[in-house]
Every structure is written in C-alpha cells, then in structure tokens.
Amino acid sequence: MSDSYVIIGDGIAGASAAETLRQEAPDADITVITDEGESLYNRILIKEYAKGKLPEAPISIHDESWYDDHDVDLRLDTVVVDVDVESDEIRTHEGETIGYDKLLLGIGGTPQQLPVENADAKGIHHFWTFQDARKIKESVEDADRGAIVGAGLLGIDFAAICGAQDVEAKYLMRGDSWWRYALSNEGAEIMHEAMRERGVEPVFDSGVDRFEVDDDGHVEAAVDPNGERYECDFAGVAIGLDLNTELVEGTPIEVDDGIVVDEYMRTNVDNVFAAGDITRFYDVLLGEQAQNGAWGSAKEQGTIAARNMIDYESERFEWVSSYSITHFDFPFLSFGHPTLGDDSVEATTAEGEWRRVALKDGKVVGGVLIGDLSPQSAFKKLMREGRDVRGQTDLLMEPGFSVDDLAAPTEQ
C-alpha cells in the first residue's frame, strides 16, 4: 500500500511540500486541506494588488486544475478542528475524519487584533489573505485619510498602499522610529523620508488607544495614548501574528510560541512534521531554535519537510532567509535574523545607502541593507560559513566589501 500524506495549509509551505511529495513519492496519496476558498497564491504580491498595481490573475500560483493534474486531493473551505496523534487522524469542521501515515502542519498565523475599543469597526483592516487584500483595495480606494499601526514589515505595506492610493495617512509608531528592533534611527530615517514623499507621515511615541466610529460603525478617528486624535476613514493594523498553534493544543506535539521542530522539520511526534511561519525550528547556522516569517524560508521548509517525511534525516534545513521591500525608489533587504545578536555594526556608505550587520559571538547572524544590496551575498556566505569576524567588523562596512577582504579563517 502507498503512504498517505495529509497536509494542513495550502500556503507556500504546505504547497511546496505537496509539490515535492508528488515528485519524489509518485505513488503517495496526498491530501491538502485549507480553510481558505482559493488554492495557493502569491501572498507577497497581494500588497501590489491592494496598491492597484497588479490585477488578480498573476497572483495565483496553483489553480485548481494543478491539483487534479498532480493527483492531489485538495479540500478548499475546510477547517481542520482536531488532530489526533494517537489514532493518526484529523477531523474537519464538517465532522469528516481523514487518516494519515504522515502529517504536515503548514498552518501559519493569524494577524493580531489591537486590544482597544472599536478595533473591529468598519474601515479597519488586517492583512494576511487575498480576501483581506480585496477588502483593503475596495476600502482604501474610497478613503481620504488613513491611520496605520504596527512599525514593522507588514505595517509598511499599509503605508505603501495608502501612498499608492493617494490616501493621506498618519503612521502611528510606538517608539521613535520604524522597525526599531532591526534599524537605528539613522537607517530608519531613510524609510521615514520615503514615507513622507508618499504622503504618509510617521508619528513617533504614539500608537492607538482607541478608535472612534460614526453612526454607521465606520472608523472616523484613531486616538493615540497622548490623546491626539487623527481623523481617518481607513485604518491598517499590523501589530504581529498569532501563530495558529491552537489546533495542536492538548496533543503531545510540543509548542513553544510556534510548533517546535528539529532541523528536519519533524516535531516530537515521529510522523508529524511542520513547516513555514508556524515553526520554531532548529537553525543549524545559529545553533539554536529560531523563527522566521518569510516566503523563501517557508517554501524551503516545505520542501525539506517533504523529503524528510519520505526519508527521515535525508536533508537538513539550512537557510539564510531574506525579505525585501520594493515600495520605494531604492532597494531594501533584511537577511537572516536582523533583530538577534549581542553586537552590531552599521554605517552610511553613501547618500541614501545604509547597512547594519547583527553579530552574535563574533559571527554574522543577520542584517539590513538599504540602497545598496551588493554585499548581500558576501554577508550570507559569512553566515553560512559561520565565520568569526571579530576584530574585522569595520571591513563589513566598506563599500564593495567582499569575503576575500577578510583575513583567512584560522583553524578552530
């Protein structure tokens, strides 16, 4: 009998696992279950749709015929409500039970709600699915003024959407700069200026204390903790993700702010694997458990999980992640784990060009590049090689830096 694989989630992690399983286990029974009403699409392009820059069609990656052609049983609009690792079965919201030999959890996260008054009013949006993007586009096209909360990588997408749709917006940030865990004020100021050029004004030491609504329950203002009132008929909230670990609560599967997996993407239950945003994985480059919310990393984890579901310990997940922002006239890239480390070096290398490298025990663990992405492959190589750069960190800040500029590594 052929093995049966059940994959929960048809995001990039689940879908790349299905693709790899079909290629490398041609006889396997594969079922993919998603609570969304559409099959795999490019989540990182839905912001371009909301900006009005891209039609719907190119955002789809797998249409439903892909699943027929690859003999994958796709269940749309189906919520998995229970995982039973004793009987190797999952149960759907319709009460159907589906047995598996191997299970993959590619279930990602759900945007967090702001715990403030009127946070669910009309005109206030969170951003994760294509359906969210359709609603955002419709709402922002009719809006005049916006308020944005969440000074991170998804919040800035809301800023770019407001900018592209000619909505004057206030970007209400808790600290004194955008993404302050990864950038210093100097680097962040390049981003602030780009926002201002698009009609989005950063407001520091702010945030949202409550929203005010009109008689129809539509947002009309955001009030910050200082009592400042910002009128808005559109609001975007991107304050983080709640990982969808609830599904495995009460099972023996280990959870620690994410589903804990080893470098082979296997959980502590032998035939249950996880991949993508949902995981707290063993990062072999970092030498500790880590998390990552990025498309490329989720895709690779799906592929690696599939290989290890077929043949455990056949391939480790070893990956330097990157995340780019393409909203402005200059490139922006973060790589690795830019918010980790015990030290960092940074420099403005030319006008509008800035870089920061995060270090842990003398080794590069991540960083941010603005304006000039040319050292990206050198920094990633240093990470993959685990090179100790102590005493030479100034060289990392040189324009045109190459790994060959460093002294040859000594035997450890």
Q: How far is the CB of 275 from ligand FAD (least distance, A)?
A: 7
Q: How far is the CB of 247 from ligand FAD (least distance, A)?
A: 5
x/- site string to ligand FAD, residues 60 to 99, per CB under 6 A?
-------------------xx-------------------
| Element holding 322 (H helix, E strand) | strand 322-325
Q: How far is CA 317 from CA 255, 299, 307, in A?
A: 19, 11, 11
| Element holding 296 (H helix, E strand) | helix 295-310
The sign of the CA dihedral 310, 315, 320, 324 is negative
Q: How far is CA 295 from CA 54, 62, 287, 292, in A?
A: 19, 16, 22, 9
Using CB under 6 A, which of 74, 103, 232, 247 touches ligand FAD? 247
31 binds ligand FAD (CB under 6 A): no
Strand ranges across the sheet with 97-99: 80-84, 89-92, 97-99
Window contacting ligand FAD (CB under 6 A); options: 56-64, 105-113, 169-177, 281-289: 105-113
159 binds ligand FAD (CB under 6 A): no
Question: How far apart, in whole angstroms, are the C-alpha atoms of residue 391 and residue 8?
Answer: 47
Q: Running DSSP on this structure, what letter comes out for residue 127?
A: -
Q: Running DSSP on this structure, what letter comes out for residue 146?
A: E
Window contacting ligand FAD (CB under 6 A); options: 38-46, 61-69, 303-311, 359-367: 38-46
Q: Of 13 and 98, which CB lies nearer to ligand FAD in the complex structure?
A: 13
Q: Of 90 and 223, which CB lies nearer to ligand FAD in the complex structure?
A: 90
- What angle do the packed helices 295-310 and 12-24 form, to 10 degrees? 40
Task: Please choose, from the candidates 314, 302, 316, 262, the residue with its C-alpha nearest in 3D space to the C-alpha of residue 22.
Answer: 302
44 binds ligand FAD (CB under 6 A): yes
Using CB under 6 A, which of 35, 48, 224, 300 touches ligand FAD? 35
9 binds ligand FAD (CB under 6 A): yes
Extended beta strands in 234-321, E state: 234-237, 241-243, 259-261, 272-274, 279-283, 288-290
Q: Of 12 and 359, which CB lies nearer to ligand FAD in the complex structure?
A: 12
Q: How far is the CB of 179 from ligand FAD (least distance, A)?
A: 14
261 binds ligand FAD (CB under 6 A): no
Using CB under 6 A, which of 30, 106, 124, 282 touches ligand FAD? 106
The residue assigned the tokens 């891209």 is 54
Strands 219-223, 229-231: pairing is: antiparallel
Task: Please choose, from the candidates 150, 198, 196, the residue with its C-alpha nearest in 3D space to the C-alpha of residue 173.
Answer: 150
Contact indicator for 149, 172 with CB cutoff of 8 Å:
yes
Window contacting ligand FAD (CB under 6 A); options: 193-201, 209-217, 221-229, 291-299: 291-299
Window contacting ligand FAD (CB under 6 A); options: 213-221, 281-289, 295-303, 389-397: 295-303
DSSP conformation letters of 36-73: SSS--B-GGGHHHHHHTSS-SGGGBSS-HHHHHHTTEE
Window contacting ligand FAD (CB under 6 A); options: 189-197, 294-302, 386-394, 398-406: 294-302
x/- site string to ligand FAD, residues 119 to 148, per CB under 6 A?
--------xx--------------------
Residues that contact ligand FAD, how many (by CB under 6 A) = 34
Using CB under 6 A, which of 17, 21, 28, 33 touches ligand FAD? 33
The residues of the shown chain that bind ligand FAD, judged by CB under 6 A, are 8-14, 33-36, 43-44, 46-47, 79-80, 106-108, 127-128, 154, 157, 244, 247, 276-277, 293-296, 298, 323
